[in-house]
Chain A
Amino acid sequence: KNEVEQSPQNLTAQEGEFITINCSYSVGISALHWLQQHPGGGIVSLFMLSSGKKKHGRLIATINIQEKHSSLHITASHPRDSAVYICAVDQGAQKLVFGQGTRLTINP
């Protein structure tokens, strides 16, 4: 079993829909990162969080340390949100362990 599990692996939705991507982990962590990888391959850091909730524009990330679970939400989804979203946990000393990614496709 992987230390970091994401669900779903693939998600297709219509423009405007509310999107949720989940990440569960089985190890102790000091922080959790959400990353976005564009079709061209580039990776952008979306959030780094160790507790509670963070919001940036239409993106919201939450984490529940007790349940070892994090969610990434996208409100009013748009085709430009189509990308692979990757959850990564920092087990300390900045050693990131990555989930397998969720491929999101938003159709117009």
Chain B
Amino acid sequence: DSGVTQTPKHLITATGQRVTLRCSPRSGDLSVYWYQQSLDQGLQFLIQYYNGEERAKGNILERFSAQQFPDLHSELNLSSLELGDSALYFCASSVSGTHNEQFFGPGTRLTVL
């Protein structure tokens, strides 16, 4: 158990819908990262937050947005969902924003029908 929690574990929804994925980092970790793992693209970095502020951005679509709240939990919002958004979404956390080991959550499996 990494200490990082993600909810829900599974999510099935329809095209065009909007969903919110939630992540709680390990106690004491200030940085949260979001990753997408799809069958054709593998693992891809989406976005990083550090202590409430956006720190780095990767291949995140404009339909996706994220935020980190004062209690340090983070949410990833996915809107206007398409079939290709079906993937495993992982959250990870680390103590600070640079050169730290990252601890991964169990992931949320999103299926868009």
The tally of CB-CB contacts under 8 A between chains A and B is: 61
Contact of B42 among A31, A44, A98 (CB under 8 A): A98
Query: In whole angstroms, how far apart are the Cα atoms of A99 and B42 in the complex?
Result: 8
Residue of B at shortest CB range from A90? B99
Binding site for B on A (CB under 8 A): 30-31, 33, 35, 41-45, 48, 50, 86, 88, 90, 93-101
Q: A44-B2, A99-B42 given; name 20 further pairs at CB < 8 Å.
A: A31-B99, A41-B106, A41-B109, A43-B90, A43-B92, A43-B107, A44-B104, A45-B102, A45-B104, A48-B100, A93-B55, A93-B56, A93-B98, A94-B31, A95-B56, A96-B35, A96-B43, A98-B43, A98-B44, A98-B45
Q: List 7 A-B contacts (CB under 8 A).
A: A33-B101, A41-B109, A45-B101, A45-B103, A93-B98, A94-B100, A95-B56
